[in-house]
Amino acid sequence: MNAAAEFKKDATRITHDLRHRSLIQAALKKYEVARDAKASRFQDWQEARQTAAEIKWDAVNHLDRHLVEFAEKLEARGGKVHWASTAEQARAIILRIVTEKKARAIIKSKVMTGEEIHLNEALEKAGFEVVESDLGEYIVQLRHEPPYHFVFPAMHLTRGEISDLFRKELGTAPTDSPEELTMIARRVLRGKYIAADIGISGANFAIAETGMISITENEGNARLTCALPKVHIALMGIEKVLPRLDDLALFLPMLGTAGAAQAITCYNSLYGGPRQPGESDGPEEFHVVLLDNKRTHLLADPEQRDALHCIRCGACLNVCPIYKNIGGHAYGTTYQGPIGSVITPHLRGLQNWNHLSFASSLCGACTGVCPVKINLHHHLLQGRRNARAQKPVWWEKAAFKIFALVANNPALWAVTKPLARLGQIFHPLIKATPLDPARVWTQSRELPKVAPQTFKEYWRTRK
């Protein structure tokens, strides 16, 4: 089955799962209320968005300069920068480092780019033990499934389901206390940090001016991942660079607000190389892997280049009516929701992934909340245009031609009214047929009723 058919099958199945939908929608409702309260703490949220968009525009449009500056500054302090054009190259670089260090155990803190390049699978296949240390990521790793959301990887699970999982995988007693569930994971993970030879992290931002990476988190797991093992590897996309250290004054609270509805996340750290002489902690080696993996293809597209401004806050997922109904796994991609539907065709191939541009109601809610003002719904529309240019659908073309003909001719338009009323009579009959609901649009939706009076008829009744 190809990606489009899988998406359609999974999306249809999940849309019919009312329990799942209400779970997600309840969680996201709480987020929305809290986010609005936090956004109001900014003197002017809209002005902050505009400034953030301009900083990212500068960063992305001068990526060549900023990345070189970042690498030079970091290497001057003993860090090592690796450039990976493809996912294969990034995996090979990381595998080479962990093999040279004769590592056995690896601890990771949330690395979305790691999901993108299937890093865990490659490391496990090579015989290394890999443990995710972010609580949500640890839970989904135990379930052998990918994260459900950028920021809330296990938001689709109830306490009871997590308790059952821990009982089965870790042999712990059942509990529905969130504190107790957290303590169970904490006890297991403490031992893993101490045993790990290598810590692998992502990066929320890379600062060109200072050659440092910035990591923002709530659990302290990234700090332990970066500080305890002898070797720290950070894997990040090349678009994460910001020009100046001062830019964090805007981006850190903005990411906390848009991503987790917090004024600022609990832990915000900067890492700028290995342990320096006289320092008591930190890794002996510090590597940064800068991943392209077709980001430069997106950079070469002037129409959609601003999708590289994304700071992965997940706000567009949280307001998307499609995400709220089909959830994160149905997309079949690392990056879900509106931004995932925009960038995945660029990163993984238009041919196989252009169906995602149609996973949108084009309501524009995503564009309205994006803190860096990416015009997401417009890009989805452009994606549809690109998809149809690549593979025209004859009946769609014919249908729009007929529509244009009828809509431009008042006499023909007048005929549609009785036809629409006639079609409405057959609607219950179509709904009652035992056909596959994924194929029959009307089986899972209510058709709007045709109004008893057209506007023209109504107008004629007025003097």
Question: Per CB under 6 A, does 207 bind ligand SF4?
Answer: no
CA distance 2 to 8: 10
Convert residues 249-288 into a mask of x (bound to ligand SF4 by CB under 6 A) and - (unbound): ---------x------------------------------
Nearest CB to ligand SF4, comparing residues 258 and 387: 258
Residues 43-82 that bind ligand SF4 (CB under 6 A): none
Q: Which is nearer to ligand SF4, 105 or 380 (CB)?
A: 380
Q: Is 242 in the site for ligand SF4 (CB under 6 A)?
A: no
Interaction between residue 189 and ligand SF4 (CB under 6 A): no
Shortest distance in whole angstroms from residue 337 CB to ligand SF4 = 7
Q: Does 313 bind ligand SF4 (CB under 6 A)?
A: yes
Crossing angle between the packed helical segments 18-39 and 3-15, to the nearest 10 degrees? 90
Give min distance, CB of 361 to ligand SF4, in A: 16
Q: Does 312 bind ligand SF4 (CB under 6 A)?
A: yes
According to the binding rule CB under 6 A, does residue 315 interact with ligand SF4?
yes
* Closer residue to ligand SF4 (CB): 283 or 337: 337
- The CA-CA-CA angle for residues 322, 291, 124, to 5°, reads 85
Residue 106 near ligand SF4 by CB under 6 A: no
User: In which residue are the tokens 């079949």 written?
Assistant: 332
If one asks whether residue 155 binds ligand SF4 (CB under 6 A), the answer comes out as no
Looking at beta carbons only, is 93 or 339 nearer to ligand SF4?
A: 339
Q: State how far the Cα of 317 lies from the Cα of 320, in Å rounded to an integer.
A: 5
Q: What is the distance between the alpha carbons of residues 264 and 149, in angstroms, rounded to a whole number?
A: 19
Q: Which is nearer to ligand SF4, 140 or 376 (CB)?
A: 376
Q: Closest separation between CB of residue 38 and ligand SF4, Å?
A: 15
Q: Contacts with ligand SF4 in 363-402 (CB under 6 A)?
A: 369-372, 374, 376
> In the complex, which residues of this chain contact ligand SF4 (CB under 6 A)?
258, 310-316, 339, 369-372, 374, 376
